[in-house]
Amino acid sequence: MTKRCICQICTCGKHRCPHRPYGIIGKGDQPCAATEYRSEFVPREGGVRESFKPEYALQTNTAPLNDETTHKHDYIKHALDKPRSFKPEEVYVPRGEFDSLTSYNKEYTPKGGERAKLIKHEGQKTISAPFEGDPTYKADYRKWEASRTEPIRHDGGYVAPSDPFKGSSTYTTDYLKHQGAMRQAIRPDQAVLQSQEPFDDRTGYRTDYIRHPQQERFQRPKEEYAPNKSALDSLTTHKKDFTPKEIELTRSMKPNQQGYQSNARFEDSTTNKSDFKRWEVQPIQTHKPDEYRAKTGDMDLNTMYNSEFTPKPLAKVNAIRPVERRAVDAKFDANTTYGGDYRKWPGGRPPAIRAQSGYAPPNMPFEGMSTYKGHYIPHAGGPQRSFKPDGIAYKSAAPFDDATMYRTEYTQKEIEPCPAAFLETPRSNFILHHMDPTGHKFYETQQEAAQSQYQQQQQQQPIAV
- The amino acid sitting at 114 is E
Residues 6+ away with beta carbon under 8 Å from 156: 314, 316
322-367 pLDDT per residue, tens: 777 777 777 878 788 887 787 777 777 877 777 666 677 778 877 7
d(CA 135, CA 287): 10
CB 12 within 8 A of CB 27: yes
421-461 pLDDT per residue, tens: 888 888 888 888 888 776 678 888 888 888 888 888 887 77
DSSP 420: G
d(CA 302, CA 136): 32
pLDDT mean over 200-215: 83
In DSSP notation, 105-131 reads HHH----B-PPPPP-PPPPPPPP-SPP
56-114 pLDDT per residue, tens: 777 677 778 777 888 888 888 887 777 777 777 787 777 878 777 888 888 887 777 78
- Which residue, among 92, 308, 353, 78, has the nearest Cα to 200 in the 3D structure? 353
d(CA 341, CA 63): 59
d(CA 23, CA 16): 7
Q: Would you report the helix, strand and coil content of the chain in percent, each value rounded to 5? A: 20, 5, 80
For residue 36, pLDDT over 70 is answered with: no
- Residue 113 vs residue 38, higher pLDDT: 113
The number of angstroms, rounded, from the C-alpha of 452 to the middle of its chain's C-alpha atoms is 62
270-293 pLDDT per residue, tens: 888 888 878 888 888 888 888 888
Return the pLDDT at 176.
Answer: 77
For residue 34, pLDDT over 60 is answered with: no
Numbers of helices and strands, H then E, in the chain? 14, 2
* Mean pLDDT (the chain, rounded): 77
Return the pLDDT at 43.
Answer: 65
